């Protein structure tokens, strides 16, 4: 009996309304779909107009469902962004300890990742970004042990987060922390950072302003000016 989620030509027939389809997509997810679309156009599967339209939609997509809709009529490609069955059922059991070791590269945790009870972060000439704006928080305290040398550790905080770094050894480095939540704002997560920083930086704060609109692939080829920024 054939797999109900796979068609005879290898494409995924997983509907966009399956569990996990409405999860927020990351910049890496969007870039991945852009690459797949460019490959499909190079193979002659998409016209220039179709590619232009899909690239624009991919760069502005907010969810997995929106990204999946752009590749459903293309042959299955390794790494295609399609929400897997049960993707919405994020495990809410936090790990005791998660280790992140970066040397000359970068690591980013964002989306609905489950915050562990403790993090051991090593950044040697690289960067680590922890985005808590959509993270699954199941306990009130997170302890981070950091060893940053010539690199950076960045925390993107959400409402009700308190970040403290009272046990940090600094050597030609800096630590930038946000103000604590105001009166009447409950503390959702308290983050305690300890360790050492040599020639690097640790910073924390809310997300910055949205990125300016990006040109489509064909606009970039034609050297068209960037779209005007959206103002309130």
The full 3-state SS of the chain, as one line of letters, equals CCCCCECCCCCECCCCCCCCCCCECCHHHHHHHHHHHHHHHHCCCCCHHHHHHHHHHHHHCCEHHHHHCCCCCCCCCCCCCCCCCCCCCCCCCCCCCEEEEEECCEEEECCCCECCCEEEEEEECCEEEEECCCCECCCCEEEEEEEEECCEEEEECCCCEEEEEEEEEEECCEEECCCCCCCCCCCCEEEEEEEEEECCEEEEECCCCCCCCCCCHHHHHCCCCCCCCCCC
Which is more confident, 18 or 66? 66
Alpha-carbon distance of 186 to 27, in angstroms, equals 30
Alpha-carbon distance of 157 to 54, in angstroms, equals 32
Average pLDDT over residues 60-66: 85
* Look-up of token digits 């469902």: 65
Worst-scoring range by mean pLDDT, 40-44, 106-110, 144-148?
40-44
pLDDT on residue 197 = 96
Percent of the chain with pLDDT over 70: 73
Alpha-carbon distance of 82 to 67, in angstroms, equals 8
- pTM recorded for the entire structure: 0.55
Which is more confident, 12 or 143? 143
Alpha-carbon distance of 68 to 54, in angstroms, equals 11
- 21-43 residue pLDDT tens: 677 888 878 888 888 888 888 77
pLDDT on residue 183 = 83
Strand duo 127-131 + 152-156: pairing: parallel
- 185-209 residue pLDDT tens: 888 999 999 999 999 999 999 987 7
Alpha-carbon distance of 139 to 190, in angstroms, equals 9
Q: Is the dihedral of CA 28, 112, 110, 62 positive or negative?
A: positive
């Amino acid at each position: 009996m054939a797999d109900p989620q796979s068609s005879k030509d290898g494409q995924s027939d997983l509907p966009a309304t399956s569990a996990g389809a409405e999860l927020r997509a990351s910049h890496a997810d969007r870039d991945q779909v852009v690459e797949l679309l460019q490959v499909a156009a190079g193979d002659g599967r998409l016209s220039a107009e179709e590619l232009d339209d899909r690239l624009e939609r991919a760069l502005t997509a907010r969810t997995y469902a929106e990204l999946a809709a752009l590749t459903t009529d293309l042959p299955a490609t390794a790494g295609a962004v399609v929400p897997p069955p049960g993707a919405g059922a994020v495990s809410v059991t936090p790990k005791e300890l998660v280790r992140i070791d970066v040397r000359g590269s970068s690591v980013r945790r964002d989306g609905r990742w489950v915050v562990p009870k403790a993090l051991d972060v090593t950044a040697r000439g690289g960067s680590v970004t922890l985005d808590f704006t959509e993270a699954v928080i199941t306990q009130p305290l997170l302890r981070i042990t950091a060893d940053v040398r010539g690199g950076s550790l960045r925390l993107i905080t959400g409402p009700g987060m308190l970040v403290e770094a009272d046990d940090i050894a600094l050597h030609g480095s800096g630590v930038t922390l946000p103000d604590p939540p105001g009166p009447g704002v409950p503390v959702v997560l308290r983050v305690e950072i300890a360790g050492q920083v040599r020639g690097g930086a640790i910073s924390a704060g809310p997300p910055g302003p949205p990125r300016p609109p990006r040109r489509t692939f064909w606009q970039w080829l034609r050297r068209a000016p960037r779209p005007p920024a959206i103002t309130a």
